[in-house]
Amino acid sequence: MKNAYFAGGCFWCIVDPYSSMPGVEKVTAGYMGGHTENPTYEEVCSETTGHKEAVEIVYDESLLSYEKLVEVFFKNIDPTDPGGQFADRGTSYQTAIFTDSPAEKEAVQRHIKALESSGRFKAHRYRNFRYGPVLPGRRSSPNVSFKKPIPLSSV
């Protein structure tokens, strides 16, 4: 099993597209990218922790590719919006992909390049899209908070 991490606005909006995909074992809503250890929902919403609402996807790479997960992500967000996603505004709702490896980063870059070539979005607007590494020791890092996840089953 492998993990993938996507921030696409409100985490509930990004949970659903992945939860029924063949090869996805589990989708967990949480927070990533901030400087406060184990923030609460209220703290993240206060825009003071630096976190983004995100999902952790556990998937079987023999059944589902990382590239397909990236494709689904981009079909469910507006990567040109620096202020959040749709009705959800603020830095905690900004888009990001947290990559675990150079191969994942390259897959994201290839997808962005393909989108730019398609003319679907204006290329210069992609500066608002962020991707970055998942830090080692991610479950105890102050930059990642999935210790108190909101399980999909509680939806």
pLDDT tens digits for range 43-87 = 888 889 888 888 899 999 999 999 999 999 988 888 777 777 777
pLDDT for 83 equals: 77
Give the CATH number, domain containing residue 83.
3.30.1060.10
User: What pLDDT, on the 0 to 100 scale, is given for residue 131?
Assistant: 54
The DSSP secondary-structure symbol of 23 reads T
Tokens encoding 4: 């993938």
Q: What are the strands of the beta sheet with 95-99, ordered from one edge?
A: 130-133, 95-99, 2-8, 52-59, 24-32, 144-151
Range of the domain at 103: 2-154
Residues that are catalytic: 10
> How many domains is the chain partitioned into structurally?
1
pLDDT of 141 reads 37
pLDDT at 130: 54
- Higher pLDDT: 31 or 135? It is 31
Which of the four pLDDT bands, split at 50, 70 and 90, describes residue 132? low
- What pairing do the DSSP bridges indicate for beta strands 95-99 and 130-133? parallel
